[in-house]
Amino acid sequence: MPDHNAPAALGGDDLETWSALATVLEWLPAALDAELLRDSDVTHFEYGILFALANASDLTLRMSVLAGYANSSLSRLSRAIQRLETRGWVQREPDPDDGRYTLATLTNRGREKFHQASPGHVATVNRLVLDPLTQSQRRLLRDISRRILRAIREEKGWQPPLSSN
Amino acid sequence: MPDHNAPAALGGDDLETWSALATVLEWLPAALDAELLRDSDVTHFEYGILFALANASDLTLRMSVLAGYANSSLSRLSRAIQRLETRGWVQREPDPDDGRYTLATLTNRGREKFHQASPGHVATVNRLVLDPLTQSQRRLLRDISRRILRAIREEKGWQPPLSSN
DNA sequence: GCTTTTTACTTGACTGAACAAGTGAATGGA
DNA sequence: TCCATTCACTTGTTCAGTCAAGTAAAAAGC
């Protein structure tokens, strides 16, 4: 009785493709988070922050740059760094060159934490994503992902990766 | 100086594949949510509930079954239905056959809401995911997704889709 | 050179999600 | 036929995230 003949529902192969992808969208991040939380007591978001700082020169980044890397709002990052700071993994100080910036630096303990957490996380990515695929599927997945990302970027008129607030 | 020779980091093609997918994992759900929220003032999760109820016979489902469909904890669903109830889209009543169950039913206004929200959402899925891909890429994406899902399921010893609490 | 604006955050109020501890209805065993 | 247990939720608490103000430093305007 419902189902007007508008383009109001997916069907057939498209439905199967979308529902498979939608399920991945729900479960894969959860699985990744679960491993990090269980083995290292950090969220995937926090791990991303540690990763970015660990790979930065001087283990230091401006908050705004870090927000870009972590694809995060500044306010979310601010709270997250606050938490990492109380755990002793990160320190903040105003940029001496420009007092508006805040520099976040990985401490030694933070560096250790990152190196302790990494192998398990990388192993999980391999186990859940890379290993189950053939070489050509991996290449295809990369291309497919890029096409989807291009469509998303076009949608929002190419917002430069530093979404404010 | 870091980089021990453990399997502690991805590199090369694998890194590109993973980073492309990881970006999709972050942006695609956000883009989908944004459209629904902007055009219809419902979250993707709430839309999923409306969808499930709209496709159920009598527009009615038990909370626990609905939680399975929405891949949600019972407590999260309980709060969400509470919100949908105050908006007049869903009604709850104890199952007359077994007072432990609660039956959630879509109201007429809820049905209208769903039919108003659907076209835009389906169009967004098409625009961001399906249209940018070739026919064979869609098929591949389905297969790839299924492989990843199988790996996730094996990981957690095939938890039957009704994760409690 | 003094105000106004912009930039780069930070913070308070509020919302939604998770976890654990309830509650109340059925069920199962002695 | 009780009592304990299980089931199917619901609710108290806590915590992370968002949005809308803040704040303080630099830049721009006049």
| Mean pLDDT value across chain A | 89
> CB–CB of B81/B49 below 8 Å?
yes
The CA angle A153-A160-B35, to the nearest 5 degrees, is 40
3-state secondary structure of A11: coil
Q: Do A141 and B23 touch (CB under 8 A)?
A: no
Please report which confidence band the pLDDT of residue A160 belongs to, taking 50, 70 and 90 as the band edges: very low
Report yes or no on B84 lying in a domain.
yes
Residue B5 lies in a domain: no
Q: Is residue B39 part of a domain?
A: yes
The verdict on B2 touching A (C-beta cutoff 8 Å) is: yes
Of all residues in chain A, the one with the smallest CA distance to B19 is: A142
Per-window interface: A 19-38 vs B, CB < 8 A: 20-21, 23-29, 31
pLDDT digits (tens, 9 = 90+) for A125-153: 999 999 999 999 999 999 999 999 999 98
The runs of H, that is alpha helices, within B41-107 are 44-54, 63-69, 74-86
| Tens of pLDDT, residues B87-99 | 999 999 999 999 8
SS3 state at A123:
helix
Q: Does A125 touch chain B (CB under 8 A)?
A: yes
Counted domains in chain B: 1
Residue B42 forms part of a structural domain: yes
Rounded Cα–Cα distance for residues A125 and A128 (Å): 5
CB contact under 8 A, B151 and A26: no
φ/ψ of A56, rounded to 5, equals -90, 155
Q: Range of B60's domain?
A: 20-155
CA distances from A41 to A67, A88, A113, B52, B73 (A): 21, 14, 10, 35, 22
Among all residues of chain B, which has the CA nearest to that of A71? B26
**pLDDT tens, position by position, A8-51:** 678 788 999 999 999 899 889 999 999 999 999 999 999 999 99
Distance, CA of A152 to CA of A164 (rounded, Å): 18
Q: Cβ contact (<8 Å) for B145 and A4?
A: no
CATH number at B132 reads: 1.10.10.10
pLDDT recorded at residue B157: 60
Is residue B7 domain-resident?
no
B55 within domain boundaries: yes
- Chain A CB within 8 Å of residue B163 CB: no
| Residue A108 domain-assigned (yes or no) | yes
Give the CA distances from residue B165 to residues A34, B22, B71, B160, in Å, rounded to whole numbers and listed in that order.
Answer: 16, 28, 12, 14
- Name the 3-class secondary structure at B159: coil
Q: Is B7 on the interface with A (CB under 8 A)?
A: yes
Q: Is residue B3 part of a domain?
A: no
The pair phi, psi for residue B55, each rounded to 5°, is -95, 0
Q: What is the spatial distance, in angstroms and rounded to an integer, between the CA atom of B34 and the C1' atom of D4?
A: 49
